[in-house]
Amino acid sequence: MSVLTGKKKSNIIKDWRQQPKSIEKFQFIHHFLPHPEEKTRATLLSNRAIIVYCAAMLLIAGIFRFLPKVVPGVLGYASDISVKDLLTYTNAKRKESGLSELRLNSALTSAAYQKAEDMFKDQYWAHISPDGTEPWDFILGQNYDYIYAGENLAKNFKSSKDVVEAWMKSPSHKENLLSSNYDEIGFAVVNGVMEGYETTLVVQFFGRPRNAAQVASVYEEQTVLEKESTRTAAVSEREKEPATEGTSEAVQKPVYTQAPSEKPAIDVTTATKTVSAVFGGFVGTLLALDVWYSRRKGLHKFTGHTVAHLGILILVVASIWFVLAPGIVL
């Protein structure tokens, strides 16, 4: 058995690389692997490539951000939220803290729906409307005379549990949710288009009536839950019926429902996770190959510029997550 010397081996490699097909194959491989002779990173990890990746991610973020302004309702946040589940999770958190459960009150629930509808109508996301209307105005509008009252808001969440967990992570919202000043609660789960995105708003009103005898009973709570179920079924049936020309049905105020009336063509949460996972997996694989091949060949290529560019890339991806982040409480 003959053993190739280093010189002969070098000549064989040199001759092999002079073949057109070999050159093409060699060049293609080093799109993914470092160049041992030039001692540079893989082409797909070059500074130019990283700049292209950053530009691509910014372009995607721009599309997600501005497309809803051009074509409202195409992008959105699909959700599965219900008043019953919100009440269950809220009272579970109170029970864990040794507090009494809150009763679902019909007046607070109606006030919450009016607040959610008003936010969609005037396109604002705030406790106080642009015309100065405060949360308490909606509550008093339902003839609910209170000693204490509070409000929590949420949007862009996928489930009732996620909403309550987010409120618990926010000190001010947690203070409302676990306050001993409240005896009753009202919820609204309303779908519509907010700033071009199809989404679901959740309004949570707390209260303690001035007259303790007016605290909602178990019967009233069950009645409210039954109305919520009936309302959802009625809206679902209405959505199946095509709107006829000449009627005002198609341009009425946002309908009340416990799920988006129309699922967005593209769910922002799913799309963001998919793009990030694919992109992260691609770059991560390239980096893993780069480290493995570099150690094998004894290459030293990483410089301060490399770290800086990769840092910028990570910052861009993180910024996109922040800008398009689902689940906001107020």
Give the residue ranges of the chain where pLDDT is below 50. Answer: 1-2, 9, 12-13, 16-17, 20-24, 233-261, 304
Report the domain count for the chain: 2
Contacts of 25 (CB under 8 A, 6+ apart): none
Distance CA 306, CA 314 (A): 12
Do 178 and 97 meet the contact criterion of CB atoms below 8 Å apart? yes
In this structure, are 289 and 157 located in the same domain? no
Q: Which residue has the tokens 């729906």?
A: 113
The pLDDT value given to residue 141: 94
Q: Which domain holds residue 218?
A: 78-251
pLDDT at res. 105:
92
Residue 259 lies in a domain: no
Judge if 198 and 308 occupy the same domain.
no
Q: Taking the C-alpha atoms of 234, 68, 170 and 105 in order, what is their torsion angle to the nearest 10 degrees?
A: -20
pLDDT digits (tens, 9 = 90+) for 174-227: 999 999 999 999 999 998 888 777 788 999 999 999 886 666 666 567 777 777
Q: What is the pLDDT of residue 1?
A: 46
Q: Are residues 193 and 322 in the same domain?
A: no
Is there a domain that residue 160 lies in?
A: yes
12 belongs to a structural domain: no
For tokens 């947690």, the residue is 174
272 within 8 A of 321, measured Cβ to Cβ: yes
* 207 DSSP β-pair partners: 149, 184
Q: Running DSSP on this structure, what letter comes out for residue 132?
A: -
- Report the CATH number that the domain containing residue 213 is assigned in CATH: 3.40.33.10
Residue of 178, 116, 105, 99 whose CA lies nearest to 146? 105
> Which residues lie closer than 8 Å to 158 by C-beta, 6 or more apart?
77, 78, 79, 80, 81, 269, 326, 327
Residue with the two structure tokens 């799109």 = 31
Same domain, 98 and 198: yes
Task: Tell which of 224, 251, 278 closes a domain.
Answer: 251
Instruction: Report the DSSP pairing between strands 184-194 and 75-76.
Output: unpaired
pLDDT at 87: 94
Look up residue 224 and give its amino acid. Answer: V
